[in-house]
Amino acid sequence: MSKDTVQDGLVVSMEYTLIVDGEVLDTSDGVGPLQFLAGHDNIVPGLEREMIGMKIGESKDVVVSPEDGYGEFDEEAFMEVPRSEFPTDMEIEEGVELSVTDEDGKNQYARVESLTDETVSLDFNHPLAGAELHFSVKVIELRDPTEEELDHGHVHEEGHDH
C-alpha cells in the first residue's frame, strides 16, 4: 500500500479553514494541523471522501452539503423539559450549550432555544445542521497509525494519557 496519498487506515495531518455563509468558523491557523484517522468517521463524511487520494502538499477547496456534513436541520429535534429537572444553581438562558445524557447513557449536544418559568425548550440540532460547509484543506503529512490508535479508532495527540 502506497503511503503518499490520503487513504483509509492512515493518519492524515491537514491544515484547514472552515467557512460557512462567508464567515470563517474554524481554522488550524495558529494552532497547527488537525490530525485524523482516515476511514474512522473522525471528520464529516463529505470532507473525508473528497480528501481520499490527495497527496502530501496538495491543497483543495471542498464544498460539503448538509447531508454529508452535520445533517439537515430537523424541526423535530426539539424537546420541552420541565425547568425543575435542571440543577437550581445552573445558569439557563437562551443560547447556552449543554451536554445532556439520553436514556442510553450517551451524551447529546443541546442548546437552549427558549425558556419560560416552567419549561426549557432544547434544540438537539448540531449548530451547523443545514449549513453548506466550505473547507480549504492542505495535506501536510501522512503516517501509519499506532496499534493503539487503530484499536481506539482515532489519533492520540502528543502527551496523550493511555
Q: List, for residues 48-102, the tens digit of each pLDDT value.
A: 999 999 999 999 999 999 999 999 999 999 999 999 988 888 888 999 999 888 7
Tell whether 6 is covered by a domain. no
Assess if residue 37 is contained within a domain. Answer: yes
How much is the average pLDDT of 146-156? 92
Contact 155, 145 (CB under 8 A): yes
Let me know whether 15 and 65 are in one domain: yes
pLDDT of residue 43 exceeding 60: yes
The pLDDT assigned to 159 comes to 47
Mean pLDDT of all residues in 141-161: 84
Q: From 60, 64, 57, select the one nearest 5 (Cα to Cα).
A: 57
Same domain, 18 and 34: yes
Which of 18, 51, 26 has its CA nearest to residue 36? 51
Residues 62 and 25 in one domain: yes
Higher pLDDT, 39 or 158: 39
- Name the residue with cell 492512515: 10
Q: How far apart are CA 100 and CA 125, in angstroms?
A: 13
Q: Is residue 31 part of a domain?
A: yes
d(CA 38, CA 153): 9
19 lies in some domain = yes
* Chain mean pLDDT for the chain: 92
Within a domain: 35:
yes
| pLDDT score, position 158 | 61
* 86 and 103 fall within a common domain: yes
- What are the grid coordinates assigned to 94, written together? 437562551
Q: What is the structure's pLDDT at 139?
A: 98
DSSP 32: -
Quote the number of domains for the chain: 2
Segment holding 139, helix H or strand E: strand 133-143
Q: Return the CATH number at 141.
A: 3.10.50.40
The phi, psi pair for 48, rounded to 5°, reads -60, -45
> Rounded CA gap, 36 and 33, in Å?
10
Q: Are residues 62 and 21 part of one domain?
A: yes
Structural domain contains residue 4: no
Which residue range forms the structural domain that includes residue 88? 78-123
